[in-house]
Structure 1
Amino acid sequence: MLKALAKCLLLSLPLAAHAQTPSVVFLNPGYSNETFWVSYSRFMQAAASDLGMQLRIEYSEREPARAMTLARQVLEGPQRPDYLVLVNEQYIAPEIIRLSRGSGVKLFLVNNGLTPDQTRLIADSPDKYPQPIATLVTNDEEAGYRMLTALIAQVPPPPKGQQIDLLAFSGMKITPASQLRERGMRRALAEHPEVNLRQVVYGGWGRERAYEQATQLLQRYPNTRLVWSANDEMAFGAMQAFEEAGRKPGKDVCFSAVNSSPEALQARIDGRLSVLMGGHFSLGGWAMVLLHDDARGLPISRDGQHQYQVPVLQLIDPARARRWLKLVNEPDYGLDFNRFSAEGKARSFRYPFLTAPVDY
């Protein structure tokens, strides 16, 4: 009898452990073959594996309608996760928040938070819109500012009375991250009257579209010396157009970009990209740390805040690019995510990634 009871207890242990495992669905707004969003998912999965969490990733393929369909399936399906992580890409978050009411699923926003108008809408209707437990966004405005400032430093000041021609490739008008990066770019521009912004175009984050735009812009502004891009795909599209016109990146024209894809890191090492900002692929991983702690009843808003701007975007010099390039193929990015958790820490513990970039 005792042996049978012991056997039953042993057999029940995996089920009990499984029941206590926090489950998360990440509604990825990107394409399933898009370098940035795939690396973002890989970092989240590395965190989930370290922290003993279940993570499922659904790609919306940059289609808001598909994102809404996936959100309904998650929130209204028979096997709902504990948490849904989403991005306010193209302003879809409020409707997903509304759908979550009564589902028992907690929401967590990353990368693109709610706009001020959306925040007021949700605060004014608590019976209709449950509050997300937290929001993590990147330092996009600062990144746009620092990127242009560093890019301008790549060329000597022009003779008196002359200016340096600049082209800018922004992402999407209705994406908060794109708006903030462009705002930072314009703040830096205001400090440098010697730079003439010839035109801002919206490349939709895509290489091919930026290539087509740059081909036309180069004919219009042949003296362009600086090209600012809100991501790496647009930078490489513009770069192709300039190369086809006989302009050498890093010599005749200087390019900047955001993202730490292997291609971008190698281009920084080779000097084809003169300025590179990256590191925001890690934001979803830090969200997983917070969800892990929330599932264990630990207070994740230890300073009373629920919305954080995390300084994950940082300048990548050639030395850092070489180091990061080696980490790309490491499944855990060389990190033990448990050390970032509040579990087992003193009450005074503060999440280190919320205040300073984690060096890899």
Structure 2
Amino acid sequence: MLKALCQSLCLSLPLAANVQAASVVFLNPGSSSEVFWSSYSRFMQAAAQDLGMSLKVEYSERSPERTLSQARDILQGPKRPDYLVLVNEQYIAPEIIRLSQGTGVKLFLVNNGLTASQARSIQAQPGKYAQVLGTLTVNDEQAGYQMLREMVALLPKDNGPVDLVAFVGVKTTPASLLREQGMRRALADFPQVRLRQVVYGGWSRERAYEQAGMLVQRYPDTRLVWSANDEMAFGAMRAFEEAGRVPGREVVFSAVNSSPEALRARIDGRLGVLMGGHFSLGGWAMVMLHDDAHGVSLARDGVREHQVPVLQSVDGAKAQRWLKLLEHSDYGIDFKRYSAEGKPSDFRYPFFASPVDY
């Protein structure tokens, strides 16, 4: 009997050894020195480690040409990953989807999905493009809308006109355009707010600083400075401070992103409004890819494109709490509990329904 037991155990060992961790490559469109994109990758790595997955991150350093070159090397190389996660930054996704046709690599889009015109073009040529496993985006338009509403609420109650200037990212990034659309939608609720100028700061602190230096001279009565990310907000803030304007008292600044610098600025009041939490999107994508690798259909409800309301307003108390969580390599999160593996067929990912309060 002992001999039979040993044989049974020995036979089972090769099977366990043959179980391969799902491999993922993330084409990070940002720079490795950018706080947002590095924290985004860090959250994905925390999820990968928790879920027993392999993750490699390739940074493009803000170069779409480099992203395409990286994608080509990955998709045509000898050791292809199971999954390739990409962002439709500067509208590069269709070319990567074309390159992936016939490679066996599953594609998953995060943050910026396909535009309507891109989707129509791909659907019209099914033999030319691979099928995308799924898309996970955030509530960018709603965040842009809510951000301006909260800014106006901080102003003294008077009937005088209020000058607003806005810093958006780039014209070829859906997230940037959606945040701007939300801001413009909110303007309809406040006829006293005058949008003086929208500038494209390219997500850059230095560029926004240079632009704001001109705007503060052109519109000296500006009381609202709306920014689509934190880097541009801090660049603009510096220019206004040099012009003698006090953030949080004379001018209300807003930002998107939950970097430590932004969280501290929200706590001390230099940022009147902060929207954050979307750094987590890649981590939730990893949960979904883990489930797909374990046979759980991501389109079991007939939907492949999902929007997750992870962008949320961050007040001072929440900013304090998030700063403490950043001290933990895994953010203090058990990613396994978000998985659909082993759950009932009607299980719905918690991050689909409401913001996750980390």
TM-score range, shorter chain: over 0.9
Report the Cα distance in structure 2 between the residues aligned to 1:101 and 1:303, rounded to whole angstroms: 25
- Determine if the alignment matches structure 1 residue 16 to structure 2 residue 35: no
Report the Cα distance in structure 2 between the residues aligned to 1:158 and 1:198, rounded to whole angstroms: 19
Residue 93 of structure 1 corresponds to which residue in structure 2? 93
Deviation at 1:245, TM superposition (A): 1.3
Q: Unmatched 5+ residue regions in structure 1?
A: none
1:132 maps to amino acid: V
Counterpart contact for 1:83–1:108, Cα < 8 Å: yes
Counterpart contact for 1:157–1:194, Cα < 8 Å: no
Deviation at 1:158, TM superposition (A): 3.4
Report the Cα distance in structure 2 between the residues aligned to 1:22 and 1:105, rounded to whole angstroms: 11
Aligned pairs for 1:176-215 (under 5 A) are 176-215=174-213
Give CA-to-partner distance per residue, 1:14-55, whole Å, 9 cap, x none.
6313xx311000000000111000000011011111110000
Deviation at 1:302, TM superposition (A): 3.1
Counterpart contact for 1:134–1:306, Cα < 8 Å: yes
Report the Cα distance in structure 2 between the residues aligned to 1:171 and 1:97, rounded to whole angstroms: 24
Report the Cα distance in structure 2 between the residues aligned to 1:60 and 1:15, rounded to whole angstroms: 35
Residue 44 of structure 1 corresponds to which residue in structure 2? 44
Report the Cα distance in structure 1 between the residues aligned to 2:16 and 2:41, rounded to whole angstroms: 27
Give CA-to-partner distance per residue, 1:336-358, whole Å, 9 cap, x none.
00001011111121111111111
Q: How many residues align?
A: 356
Report the Cα distance in structure 2 between the residues aligned to 1:236 and 1:9, rounded to whole angstroms: 61
1:189 maps to amino acid: L
Report the Cα distance in structure 1 between the residues aligned to 2:158 and 2:163, rounded to whole angstroms: 10
SS at match of 1:133: strand
Report the Cα distance in structure 1 between the residues aligned to 2:46 and 2:114, rounded to whole angstroms: 27
2:281 maps to amino acid: L
Q: Percent identity?
A: 68
SS at match of 1:110: strand
Residue 122 of structure 2 corresponds to which residue in structure 1? 122
Residue 278 of structure 1 corresponds to which residue in structure 2? 276
Residue 309 of structure 1 corresponds to which residue in structure 2? 307
TM-score (norm 1): 0.96
Residue 108 of structure 2 corresponds to which residue in structure 1? 108
Give CA-to-partner distance per residue, 1:72-101, whole Å, 9 cap, x none.
111000000000000000000000000000
Runs of 4+ aligned residues of structure 1 deviating over 2 Å after TM superposition are 1-15
Give CA-to-partner distance per residue, 1:109-164, whole Å, 9 cap, x none.
000000000000111111111220100011000000000000011102334xx310
Deviation at 1:9, TM superposition (A): 5.0
Report the Cα distance in structure 1 between the residues aligned to 2:215 and 2:263, rounded to whole angstroms: 26
Counterpart contact for 1:258–1:276, Cα < 8 Å: yes
Deviation at 1:179, TM superposition (A): 0.2
Counterpart contact for 1:113–1:137, Cα < 8 Å: yes
Q: Unmatched 5+ residue regions in structure 2?
A: none
Which deviates the most, 97-106 or 298-307?
298-307
Aligned pairs for 1:1-360 (under 5 A) are 12=14, 15-17=17-19, 20-159=20-159, 162-360=160-358
1:244 maps to amino acid: E
Report the Cα distance in structure 1 between the residues aligned to 2:136 and 2:340, rounded to whole angstroms: 17
Deviation at 1:332, TM superposition (A): 1.2
2:343 maps to amino acid: K
1:85 maps to amino acid: V
TM-score (norm 2): 0.96
2:18 maps to amino acid: A
Report the Cα distance in structure 1 between the residues aligned to 2:147 and 2:162, rounded to whole angstroms: 16
Give CA-to-partner distance per residue, 1:271-314, whole Å, 9 cap, x none.
00000000000100110011000011112223210001110100
